[in-house]
Chain A
Amino acid sequence: MMAWAITAFDALLVALLLWLAWQAIHADGLFRAVISFMVFGLLMAVAWVRLDAPDVALAEAAIGAGVTGALLLSALGRLPERDKEAPADRRARGLAAVGLAALALGGATALATIAWALPAPGLGREVTEALPKSGVDNPVTAVLLNIRAFDTLLEIGVLLLAVIATWALGPMQWSAPARVMSPALPVLGRLLFPMFVLVSAYVLWRGGHAPGGAFPAGALMGAGGVLVFFAGAKPWITGAELDPWRWLLSLGLVAMLVAAVGVGATGRSFFEYPVDLAGLFILALEVAAALSIAILLFALCLGGRPPHRWGSEDEA
Chain B
Amino acid sequence: MNELFIAIVLVLLGNITVGLWRVMRGPTAADRMLAAETFSTSTVAIVLILATVTGRGALVDVALVFALLAALAVVTFVSRAWPDIGEETARGGGGPKP
Contact = CB atoms under 8 A, between A and B. Distances in A.
A180 B79 contact: yes
Interface residues of B, number: 53
B81 A192 contact: no
Nearest to B75: A230
A58 B79 contact: no
A5 B7 contact: yes
A74 to B, nearest CB: 5
Query: Residue among B9, B26, B87 with the most chain A CB within 10 A?
Result: B87
B68 interface: yes
A137 B16 CA distance: 37
Interface residues of A, number: 68
B76 A73 contact: yes
Contacts of A57: 47, 59, 62
A84 B59 CA distance: 37
Interface of A: 1-2, 5-6, 8-9, 12-13, 16, 20, 23, 27, 29, 31-32, 34-36, 38-39, 42-43, 45-46, 49-50, 52, 54, 57-58, 61-62, 65-66, 69-70, 73-74, 76-78, 81, 84-85, 174, 177-180, 185, 188, 192, 195-196, 199, 203, 206, 210-212, 216, 220, 223-224, 226-227, 230-231
Interface of B: 2-3, 6-7, 9-10, 13-14, 16-17, 20, 23-24, 26, 29, 32-33, 35-36, 39-40, 43, 46-47, 50, 54, 56, 58-59, 61-62, 64-66, 68-73, 75-87
The 3 A-B pairs with the shortest beta carbon distances in the complex, nearest first, are A178-B79, A73-B81, A77-B80
Given A31-B87, A177-B79, 13 more contacts: A12-B17, A16-B20, A42-B43, A43-B43, A49-B62, A62-B69, A65-B40, A65-B70, A73-B80, A178-B79, A199-B64, A212-B58, A224-B68
